[in-house]
Amino acid sequence: MSEQNTLDPDIIEEAAIALRTAAERRSPIPPLRESLSGGGVAAAYAVQELNTRHALSSGRRLVGRKIGLTSRAVQKQLGVDQPDYGMLFADMDVPEGEPIGLGRVIQPKVEAEIAIVVGRDLLQPDLTIAELIRAVEYVVPAIEVVDSRIANWDIRILDTIADNASSGLFVLGAVPRKLDGLDLRACGMVMECRGEPVSVGAGVACLGSPISASLWLARVMAREGRPLLAGDVLLSGALGPMATVAAGDVVEARINGVGTVKAAFAS
């Protein structure tokens, strides 16, 4: 982020290549935090940025961002006091109803979130809450399929940041809702797998409100030179605990006032 990375560029590049190789081979690697510890969070974001540039130069298309670590409990567990972010590419978007082959991921888990689609460019690092609300085109329910290139999900803050905030895939609901009359803080969520509840939560668990979380992300992205643009998707953070999934699972998330979304995993 705004901190300066002081770590040897060769170490940054080695970590970036290791993560790319893990993703290509679908074979997780040991944690990276020891090799990146000398540069801290800035070094981890430098790894993420290298792989973002590599993805863009390879023809992948940036279509949004995600916020991770919006839960205060998870922040405390990882020893941080703020969220992290990752990039969303077009090839990570899975249409609702399309089975997700487990060969696309390594060790998937699912989270229910509120996705915000922005209707105008958010270029100001001092963006106000009023400007953000005005820029929200609509919201939809989302299931994020989080994944880790780090073996056994043995992650700390440097591992997950370097690994694009443990991004995998995402599924968006197909019925958009305007913000008018919606209090995203109070939206209750239930996520079920094969008809059994696996996660419950509410908007207030997401940094107090998905809008507050989104404001943080929009400001950081403007400051870092990758601002959110009109049409971008913003995954605003988990509304409840993540859950593991397996082949053949069907996951459904219901968010009061926002709608329902399903993710199906191929047998």
Domains of the chain as residue ranges with CATH: 61-265 (3.90.850.10)
Check pLDDT > 70 for residue 246: yes
In this structure, the number of other CB atoms found within 10 A of the CB of residue 262 comes to 16
pLDDT computed for residue 26 by the predictor: 96
Mean pLDDT value across residues 150-179: 96
Q: What is the pLDDT, as a whole number, of residue 7?
A: 83
pTM value is 0.94
Q: What is the pLDDT of residue 253?
A: 98
Token pair in block for residue 193: 């797998």
Residue 3 has pLDDT above 70, yes or no: no
61 by DSSP, 3-state: which?
coil
Summary mean pLDDT of the chain: 94
Percent of the chain surpassing pLDDT 90: 88
Higher confidence at residue 4 or residue 209? 209
- The pLDDT, as a whole number, for residue 6 is 79
Helix 40-57 to helix 9-25 angle (10° resolution) is 50
Residue type, 252: E
- Confidence label for 110 from pLDDT (cuts 50, 70 and 90): very high
SS3 41: helix
- Alpha-carbon torsion angle 208, 211, 212, 214, nearest 10: 130
Q: What is the pLDDT of residue 2?
A: 54
Across the range 96-123, mean pLDDT stands at 96
3 state SS of 134? helix
Q: What are phi and psi of 160, to 5 degrees?
A: -70, -35
Question: What is the model's pLDDT at position 172?
Answer: 98
The whole-number average pLDDT for the span 192-216 is: 94
With a cut of 70, say whether residue 48 has pLDDT above it: yes
Whole-number Å distance between alpha carbons of 215 and 251: 29
